[in-house]
Amino acid sequence: MISFSSVLTAILTLMAGIGVFLVACQMMSTHLEAVSSKRLKQLFSKTGKSKWLGVGIGTVGTAAIQSSGAVTVMVIGFVNVGILSLAQAATIIYGANIGTTVTAQLVALGMFGKNSISTTIIFAAFAGIGAFMTLFSKRNITKQVGGILTGFGMLFVGLSMMANAMDEFAALDAVKQFLANINNAVLLVLVGAILTAIIQSSSVMTSIAITMVVSGLVTLDQGIYLTMGSNIGSCVVAIIAGVTSGTSAKRTAMIHLIFNIMGVAIFMLIGFLLRVTTGNEWTFGILFDRMFPSAPQIQLAMFHTIFNISTMLVAMPLTNALVNLACRIVKESPEEKSDEPHLRYLNEQMLSTPVVAIRQLKAEIENMAELAIQNFQRSIHIITTMDYSEVEQFRKTEILLNYLNKELVDYSVKLSGKSLNSFDQRYLITTIRTVSDLERIGDYAENIVEYADALKGQNAKFSDDAVVEIKKMEQLIVDLYNEIMLAYHKLDHEALERANMIEDSIDDYTDQMEQNHIERLVRGVCTPSVGAEYLSLAQNSERVADHLTNVGKTILNL
């Protein structure tokens, strides 16, 4: 007779184990990202035309931060920015699937030695070591390492609880009989996919499958098909990130889904042919039991690894075909052609991977800077030529600059609550001031267009000499912008020094413009009313230069 208390205890223990395991994965991923974010950025920036390099980067990146979901979101972000092509993104996703098998191998390793001191207990002890490091150390890097060790130890605490729950279930004949009747491969894959989609972690699902196999609750073959299903369910994170992003991001998520479905379909076909041609004498379970005898945890972990490596090898020559298929399935979104203001490189999903969000935030700020200088140049064109053909685009860009100012400040505030390394923390502190400086450039450009409106109302215009001077000022500011953005993007202090020299020249030239204006007034070449607009324009231009210089100076804090 089944004891209700036994079933309830087993269920609650399993839920607790899953909860601890998930928190441990999140803790490890967060602290590993914070410690290795700069190296991860460098790693992803090296992705070139080599498909194998992409696979290697995906594998190493996922193994480094213990989260294929985080790497996939990174890839989606980089595709949005244009850093990666869809083909490059596909190869990194292949590698991410291989990298995620590291967790399963760790879990398998932790389930040895039950007759003495088990490796689970040894590894779980790292939670205490890490907690002491986090609590009593004052150095940020030591705290981060402590967080990694705490997460690593908690991983095995959760694993131990899940294993105990499976032992409880295994002692219940009714539960074993129920699970034994689920032999349909398609149904097992579906169950694995649904459970993974719910908990949003293929690592947890694979670990549950390993504990079920070790406890005898399910056969190795059942565990294998549940693990296959977890690969499909793991696509949920990418799909969620893709839905809130652009067309390229959606296509990247679709490539991820197609890749995993393809792998499962191939192995299910192989499994079917094995059973049919050998009369059930050979199955994946029997094959891996012969390969790794008396170690069911290793058997399932190794299947998981071989499955992902084999799928990658099949997909590599088909990468371009997968990209084309994804492009046919996901058509270009009409919303992307909309003129409504929107963030180009950021979305809410990226907050879950701060290493990506920081890089994307920087891309948004650089894009905002380009929009600001474009509007400044439009304003100069309008006031020197009285040609208003671009005024509509000017107005739209000004609205977009105001929108970006608000949204990027809000995003920076949200990001400030995340776990970041010291460099990214210092960078984040500078962003609100930088965004404000860029928005002010847009305001000064708007002022200049208003001066043009005033001249138009008077049916007046600047003299040829004044126009030449204004165009020279414009060129100086464009040169300043180019040096400032080089300094900002690459943390190039030499470029900042050149920018400071140009800014000094702009200050001197502003004084020269005022002196030349007085001379023109004396000669009667310029009227006082037109001269007032000219002086205001010169002063506004100088302030544009000041705000650009402020943007460049932020690198001194980094």
CA end-to-end span of the chain, whole Å? 67
Are the C-beta atoms of residues 34 and 419 closer than 8 Å to each other?
yes
Residue of 29, 81, 77, 85 lying closest to 54 (CA atoms)? 85
Q: Per-domain residue ranges for the chain?
A: 4-329, 350-557
In angstroms, the CA 409 to CA 421 distance is 20
- Total count of residues recorded for the chain: 558
Dihedral angle computed from the Cα positions of residues 455, 459, 462 and 463, in that order, rounded to the nearest 10 degrees: -170
The pTM for the full model equals 0.66
Give whole-number Cα distances, 215 to 9, 24, 206, 353, in Å.
Answer: 17, 23, 14, 35
Backbone dihedral angles phi then psi of residue 394, each to the nearest 5 degrees: -60, -45
pLDDT attached to residue 33? 64
Give the long-range contacts of residues 46-53, CB within 8 A, separation 24 or more.
47/83, 47/84, 47/88, 47/92, 48/88, 49/88, 51/87, 51/91, 51/316, 51/319, 52/91, 53/91
Q: Which of 243, 239, 242, 247 is nearest to 338 (CA)?
A: 247
3-state secondary structure of 558: coil
* Whether the Cβ atoms of residue 132 and residue 96 lie closer than 8 Å to each other: no
Name the nearest CA neighbour of 62 among 19, 94, 109: 94
pLDDT at residue 116, rounded to an integer: 45
pLDDT at residue 454, as a whole number: 92
CB atoms within 10 A of CB 43: 16
**Can you give the pLDDT of all 558 residues of the chain as single tens digits?**
456 677 788 788 888 888 887 787 777 767 766 666 556 656 665 655 577 888 888 888 777 666 677 677 777 767 765 667 888 889 989 998 898 888 788 878 776 655 445 666 777 888 889 888 888 887 877 887 888 888 878 877 887 787 777 777 767 777 667 777 788 889 999 988 988 887 777 877 888 888 888 888 889 999 999 999 988 988 876 777 666 666 777 888 899 899 999 999 999 999 999 888 888 788 899 999 999 888 888 999 999 999 999 999 999 999 999 999 999 998 876 555 556 788 888 877 678 778 778 888 998 999 999 999 999 999 999 999 999 999 999 999 999 999 999 999 999 999 988 877 788 889 999 999 999 999 999 999 999 999 999 999 999 889 899 999 999 999 999 999 999 999 999 999 999 999 999 999 999 999 999 999 888 888 877 778 788 899 999 999 999 999 999 999 999 988
Q: Give Dmax (Cα) for the chain.
A: 111
Q: Are 230 and 196 in contact (CB under 8 A)?
A: yes
pLDDT at res. 346: 82
The amino acid sitting at 410 is D
What CATH superfamily is the domain 350-557? Phosphate transport system protein phou homolog 2; domain 2 (1.20.58.220)
CB contact set of 380 (below 8 Å; sequence gap of 6+)? 448, 470, 471, 474
How far is Cα 305 from Cα 293, in angstroms, rounded to an integer?
A: 17
**Residues sharing a CB contact under 8 Å with residue 212, sequence separation 6 or more, in sequence order:** 166, 218, 222, 223, 226
CB atoms within 10 A of CB 138: 6
Number of Cβ within a 10 Å radius of residue 290: 10
Query: What pLDDT does residue 35 have?
Result: 63
